[in-house]
Amino acid sequence: MSLIRSMWYYFERDLIKWTRWKMTVFAHLVTPAAWLIFVGLTLPVTFTDNYLEYLTPGIMVMSVLFASLQSGSLVIFDKILGFLNKFFAMPSPRESYLFGKILFITFRGLVQATVIFGVAVLFGITVYGVKSILLTYIVLFIFGALFASIATTIALVVDDHDGYAAINAMISMPLFFTSTALMPYDKMPGWLRTVASVNPVSHAIDSARVLLSGGDIPVSEILMLAAGATIVLAICTSVFRRATL
């Protein structure tokens, strides 16, 4: 069985599992949109005339971040329920499970980001063309693959769901709140500006914000994210190949 075909099988498996529970899909799509509406339309700010337009890229990246970190939970459940042992014994390439899982999680994050973008358009943000939107989705895909790989690597090391959930909670919100999602660098305290400048979430948000505002393509930012995703995916693949249950 080829790698691509096997990878698609695992992607389809997770997609069917996700769409089977309608309330879960509804919650995954509505929650980030609620963030956009309640924060973007109610938070008083003075540094921009259209805070919703400023906030939209940040919430899109946030939705991909939180979705990506759920990749680890899916791996943990497969470990606990014994499915991972069975997948390891199948003749298909072992990496197909890993790549299919990362592909599905990234896809799910992009679906959530699409809902957020659609809501923002309904509330009147400016759209600068199809090219800027497509490039934004490329950034979101790279970012999603980066953090899905990180989450999967952690899940392969952690033994139980509670332990992974604790790690997830420990890194997800701090990553978001120490980024440029809610405010620009020049409005941050000095210490927070330093942290935000090295936060990969900030780099993804900054890239998406430039693209959605019709600016020049942030080539260096995109290449940095792509390099990080490639390195982490390689590490994740190596850990996965050595995993035993």
CA distances from 131 to 48, 117, 125, 201, 208 (A): 25, 15, 16, 22, 12
State yes or no: pLDDT of 103 exceeds 80.
yes
pLDDT score for 18? 85
Section 186-198 average pLDDT: 93
> For residue 66, what are its two tokens?
């939180």
Distance, in Å, from the CA atom of 59 to the CA atom of 115, rounded to the nearest integer, reads 11
State residue 123's pLDDT score: 86
Q: Which pLDDT value is given to residue 60?
A: 93
Give the domain range for residue 67. Answer: 3-242
Q: How far is CA 179 from CA 12, 57, 61, 74, 197, in A?
A: 33, 12, 11, 26, 8
* Token code pair at residue 57: 């890229």
What value does the mean pLDDT take over residues 46-52? 79
Residue whose tokens read 């470990």: 79
Mean pLDDT of the chain: 88
Please tell me the least confidently modeled range out of 43-47, 57-61, 200-204, 224-228: 43-47
Whether the per-residue pLDDT at 35 is higher than 80: the answer is: no
* Three-class SS of the chain: CCHHHHHHHHHHHHHHHHHHCHHHHHHHHHHHHHHHHHHHCCCCCCCCCCHHHHHHHHHHHHHHHHHHHCHHHHHHHHHHHCHHHHHHHCCCCCHHHHHHHHHHHHHHHHHHHHHHHHHHHHCCCCCCCHHHHHHHHHHHHHHHHHHHHHHHHHHHHCCCHHHHHHHHHHHHHHHHHCCCCCCCHHHCCHHHHHHHHHCHHHHHHHHHHHHHCCCCCCHHHHHHHHHHHHHHHHHHHHHHHHCCC
Confidence of residue 49 (pLDDT cuts 50, 70, 90): confident
The token pair that represents 67 in the structure block: 């979705």
Percent of the chain at pLDDT > 70 equals: 97
* Confidence (pLDDT) at 39: 76
Domain total of the chain: 1
pLDDT of residue 158: 84
Work out the angle between the directed axes of helices 51-69 and 95-122 (0-180°, nearest 10): 160
